[in-house]
Structure formats: C-alpha cells, structure tokens
Amino acid sequence: MTQTQVLIKPRNDLKEPSMFEVIYLNDNKTTVGFVVESLENYFEYSNTSAHEIATKIHTKGAATVAVLPFQIAEQKGVDITMDARHAGMPLQIKIQKES
C-alpha cells in the first residue's frame, strides 16, 4: 500500500472582500412609511432608527443605510426595488463600493 502525503501551503495573499454601501435616494413619491418599513424588514432597524434614517434621506437627498459584501448588498437592493415597484413606489437604491 502506497502512502500519499499532501502538503498544504497557507495562502497569505487573500484579502477581505470589498464592502459596498446600500444607499437610498430620495424622491417625491415614495412614502416615509414605505421607507421605514423596508429599513425595518431588510436591515432590522428599530422603528425609531428607521424614522431617523428616513428623515435623513428626505432632508439630505440620500443616505447610506448599510455596508455589506457585494452579493448581499446587491440582493437587498434588488429585493427592495421589487417591493417598491409592487407598491407603486419609485424608490431607487444605489450600491457603491465603500470609500
């Protein structure tokens, strides 16, 4: 019987995955209620925190609501956008690499 020896070399060149910001953009039609509900449902914000963020989105025109790995950020953006469209809301979500 032949013995096989496997040599495993650790990789030191691996990097943490890049993180991406999920940004809500303000518009004149999406309701505060919808924004608050989506923040609670998708990002587990408390009602109070969700209202504070919704106010920031409204007054500043946009706000980062989460920083996540790309695949998760993108999926949440798609899911929220689909929910918004089904509710007749034009909410836009932007995903950009964390600066």
Maximum CA extent, the chain: 75
CA distance 16 to 89: 36
Which domain range does residue 54 map to? 19-97
- Kindly state whether residue 90 falls inside one of the protein's structural domains: yes
- Kindly state whether residue 45 falls inside one of the protein's structural domains: yes
CATH code where residue 31 lies: 3.30.1390.10
- Kindly state whether residue 70 falls inside one of the protein's structural domains: yes
| Helices 32-43 and 47-60, packing angle to 10 deg | 130
- Kindly state whether residue 53 falls inside one of the protein's structural domains: yes
Instruction: Measure CA 73 to chain center.
Output: 4
Tell me the whole-structure pTM to 2 decimals.
Answer: 0.84
- Kindly state whether residue 5 falls inside one of the protein's structural domains: no
State the pLDDT confidence band at 2, using cuts at 50, 70 and 90.
confident
Task: Count the domains in the chain.
Answer: 1
| Model pLDDT for residues 49-82, shown as the tens digit of each residue | 999 999 999 999 999 999 999 999 999 999 999 9
- Kindly state whether residue 65 falls inside one of the protein's structural domains: yes
